[in-house]
Structure 1
Amino acid sequence: MAEAADFQGTRPSPARRWLRRTASAVLGAPLLAGLLAVPAAGAAPAAEPAKAPTGSRTVDVSLNTLTPSVPSEDDTLTVSGTLTNRGKETISSAEVDLRVGPQLTGRGEVDDAAKRSVYVPGVDPVAVGGKYTVKFPKLARGISQDFTLTVPVDKLGLDDPGVYQLGVSVSGRTTTAPYEQVLGIERSFLPWQPEATDKRTKLTFLWPLIASPHVTAETRSDEQQTPVFTDDDLAKELAPGGRLEQMVALGSRLPVTWVIDPDLLASVAAMAGKYEVESGDTTVPGKNQTVAKQWLTALEKVVEDGKVIALPFADPDLASIAHRGKAVTGTLSHLQNASTVAATTVETILHVKPSTDFAWPVNGA
């Protein structure tokens, strides 16, 4: 009756209002207590503040410019960057130095040098020093300072042509460590070639023409043994605007090395003639001969004066062959057969002699 009276717009009696307030307070008290208790019971411990870096990680050194990138003997090398004190204390008597050397031989040494993030005594070269330094009376905590180092190239001690490790370090003192020490370092690389070479290094792009298989092992029982495709999706990639059509069009304008899947060539060549496409429990005639012929004609034209690599036919598992092939009799000979068939396929369809000295393992394995 009370609810009905409320809905009808009548004013409830004072006693009824008191009963409602009392009931709300009684029901709300446990709920409020529970809400207040949940954060206290489930609260995670306060995270400890991150520790400030120490040693040669105290100062973050970033390199912004290095000019000239390949200096000659008469040049002056200029290196600019920024120092940021990440430690807890002010650094006094800060000095920025350039360290050059040793010469790095091979990709392995370059990778090892790039991975080092701290100063390593005996491994990192001594500083050029002298008047070729930048000094700061102090580096306050959390404050950044820009610097520029200039050093004549003939003062760097460069010898044979090659790539040299280049480092910029900052040393200084703190209240808790009142002796000079390296507090930050950043490394880069300095190519050195004092004289012009007789022959410049040439570059190329490996341009892969690879696709998933679309031809089944089945053929029709007619005299031509008409091939059967699982679907007609390959035609979409060969048609204008399709992936393979765009690869040929773009590659024709670039100095590329064509890396060709011979199974793709054989599939397109089969599509250029009479072929069938699976459709449920039966097959239907394929209708994309024109698209296939146009793509092959365009590809043959662009590769006639180029470098062509034929991948092993049927995409064998090269990673498995490399790791276990010698232990399984006949495996390596099958790979040789795949390379031989690949060369024959490319030469027959594109009329160019390909190289078979390369492979393209799945996912770069």
Structure 2
Amino acid sequence: MAEAAEFQETFRGTTPPAAFHRIRVILPLLAVLLVLLGATELTTAPTARADGTGSRTVAISIDSLTPVAPTQSDKITISGTVTNKGRSTVSAGHIGLRVGGLLSTRSEIDDIGDRTPFSSGGDGPELNGHTQKIGKLQPGISREFTLTVPAKDLNLDRDGVYPLGVSFSGQTSDQQYERVLGIRRTLLPWQPSGAEGKKTKVTFLWPLISNTHLTARTESDQQQTPIFPNDDLAAELAPGGRLQQLVALGKDLHVTWVIDPDLLATVEAMTKSYQVAGPSGKNVPGRGQAVAKQWLSQLQTAVDGKEVVALPFGDPDIASLAHRGGDLGHLQSATELAAMTVDTILQVKPRTDFAWPIDGAIDRSVVDVGTSAGAHNIITRSDSLREPDGSPYAPTAARQIGGGNTAIVADAR
């Protein structure tokens, strides 16, 4: 098949928005293991109800599940908290475990978190011999629980993902018989011992990007002291700020750093004397020198030995350039300046062969502009492409899209 024809058939024809807001969320690349879905579900606390009834009377929070993906020889430990959201005291309460049927589709996995009321058919029977007594639970009172069960006692069959439910059973003064008063589900990936397979690889792009803060305005002194429109960036760099937290978290993770060199140049300028435009037109001294120096030092340590991608200087919106027109020569200059800036400030040689359109949305014109400055890898998302042969899943993140270019496809959801 000719590359041009293949390229044309690959795209859905979506048009990315011509937006200018450049702060992106982190996009995980490649297929994501179902086991990660279990970890996500664990952190979600139930919505508080002022007056719970039925199987919503007792709210259950699952705080931890270990191991996340057990084998036949493992013991599973699950812990959390139960809280009485009803108006009556619950008596003879106990915690139990329930295992539902194998989940075979992504939609079924998504629905687990939405099926709030207890369903005897969907949630399965309570596992015999593995319960924890709670006793009386007054309205508004919480109790912690921990259950440990050998994985073999769950009687799981084929490998895959199963719904694991923690249920609370008891009785109330108005209905003095035992019934399920609360349930919380999570996902249990299961792979029998001895099973072998190729592990899914996951890459995370870790973006250090901000709005533009450094302008062309300077004082008329010999040093041409820069004038910032505000000192908002200092708050992002300070302890607890967004950019400070990104560096603090990213330094201990295996991530690919994606950096707008304009941010580096701006922070580097803040390490020296700078002015901030005042409300009455009178400039005042900037106060971010200390946090700027600290942040750059921490970033240099964090990226040491890691892969670094430099976006074109100023992270230009290539979708707007593609659809609204513009001087593409400036994009080439911005790419060349990007490599020099990162190398000078961070002492690392970055890759400049990646383009990241706004929100990862692409069409043919966006790809043409993105690759015009030397990028051969386009960071995009799955809803901008058609999967081969109409496949309902993404077989791999790296997709050839013609012209020697590769789409690095993130899961749109």
What is the TM-score with the length of structure 1 in the denominator? 0.51
Preserved contact between residue 63 and residue 79 of structure 2 (Cα < 8 Å): yes
- Partner amino acid for 2:71? S
Residue by residue over 1:108-164, the C-alpha shift from the partner in whole angstroms, topping out at 9 and shown as x without a partner, is: 765653455432455x4212433444567x746547666554433123243555543
Give the secondary-structure state (helix, strand or coil) at the position aligned to 2:258: strand
Partner of 1:284: none
- Partner amino acid for 1:206? W
Q: Percent identity?
A: 36
Residues 343, 94 of structure 1: CA spacing in aligned structure 2 closer, same or farther, 3 A cutoff? Answer: same
Residue by residue over 1:248-283, the C-alpha shift from the partner in whole angstroms, topping out at 9 and shown as x without a partner, is: 997996555332224456779999xxxxx99xx9xx
Partner of 2:323: 331
Partner of 1:74: 73
Partner of 1:23: none
- Partner amino acid for 1:356? F
Residues 158, 312 of structure 1: CA spacing in aligned structure 2 closer, same or farther, 3 A cutoff? Answer: farther
The structure whose Rg is larger is 1
Give the secondary-structure state (helix, strand or coil) at the position aligned to 1:345: helix
Residues 66, 216 of structure 1: CA spacing in aligned structure 2 closer, same or farther, 3 A cutoff? Answer: closer
Structure showing the higher helix proportion among its residues = 1
Shift in Å at residue 174 of structure 1? 4.8
- Partner amino acid for 1:165? P
Q: Which has the higher contact order (CA 8 A, sep 6+)?
A: 2
Preserved contact between residue 64 and residue 78 of structure 2 (Cα < 8 Å): yes
Correspondences of 1:98-177 after superposition (within 5 Å): 98-102=97-101, 112-120=111-119, 122=121, 124-134=122-132, 139=136, 141-142=138-139, 149-159=147-157, 161-174=159-172, 176-177=174-175
Residue by residue over 1:90-122, the C-alpha shift from the partner in whole angstroms, topping out at 9 and shown as x without a partner, is: 656655431224556788765653455432455
Shift in Å at residue 72 of structure 1? 1.7
Quick one: distance in 1 between partners of 2:79 and 2:327? 53
Give the secondary-structure state (helix, strand or coil) at the position aligned to 1:354: coil
Quick one: distance in 2 between partners of 1:129 and 1:250? 43
Give the secondary-structure state (helix, strand or coil) at the position aligned to 1:309: strand
- Partner amino acid for 1:76? K
- Partner amino acid for 2:311? L
Partner of 1:39: none
Task: Decide which moves more: 62-71 or 102-111.
Answer: 102-111
Partner of 1:61: 60
Residue by residue over 1:75-94, the C-alpha shift from the partner in whole angstroms, topping out at 9 and shown as x without a partner, is: 23343555555445565665
Quick one: distance in 1 between partners of 2:106 and 2:327? 29
Quick one: distance in 1 between partners of 2:352 and 2:336? 9
Partner of 1:311: 311
- Partner amino acid for 2:307? K
Correspondences of 1:1-365 after superposition (within 5 Å): 52-63=51-62, 66-81=65-80, 83-89=82-88, 96-102=95-101, 112-120=111-119, 122=121, 124-134=122-132, 139=136, 141-142=138-139, 149-159=147-157, 161-174=159-172, 176-177=174-175, 181-194=179-192, 195=195, 198-199=198-199, 201=201, 206-208=206-208, 210=210, 212-216=212-216, 230=227, 255-264=254-263, 306-311=306-311, 313-316=313-316, 330-331=322-323, 340-349=332-341, 350=343, 352-358=350-356
Shift in Å at residue 208 of structure 1? 1.0
Preserved contact between residue 215 and residue 228 of structure 1 (Cα < 8 Å): no
Residues 360, 146 of structure 1: CA spacing in aligned structure 2 closer, same or farther, 3 A cutoff? Answer: same
Quick one: distance in 2 between partners of 1:265 and 1:144? 48
C-alpha RMSD over aligned residues: 6.0
Residues 263, 134 of structure 1: CA spacing in aligned structure 2 closer, same or farther, 3 A cutoff? Answer: closer
Residues 96, 317 of structure 1: CA spacing in aligned structure 2 closer, same or farther, 3 A cutoff? Answer: same
Which structure 2 segments of 5+ residues have no match? Answer: 1-48, 271-275, 282-294, 344-348, 360-413
Quick one: distance in 2 between partners of 1:65 and 1:92? 26
What is the TM-score with the length of structure 2 in the denominator? 0.46
Preserved contact between residue 57 and residue 182 of structure 2 (Cα < 8 Å): yes
Quick one: distance in 2 between partners of 1:333 and 1:102? 54
Shift in Å at residue 192 of structure 1? 3.0
Aligned residues: 283
Quick one: distance in 2 between partners of 1:336 and 1:125? 58
Quick one: distance in 1 between partners of 2:120 and 2:185? 14
Give the secondary-structure state (helix, strand or coil) at the position aligned to 1:214: coil
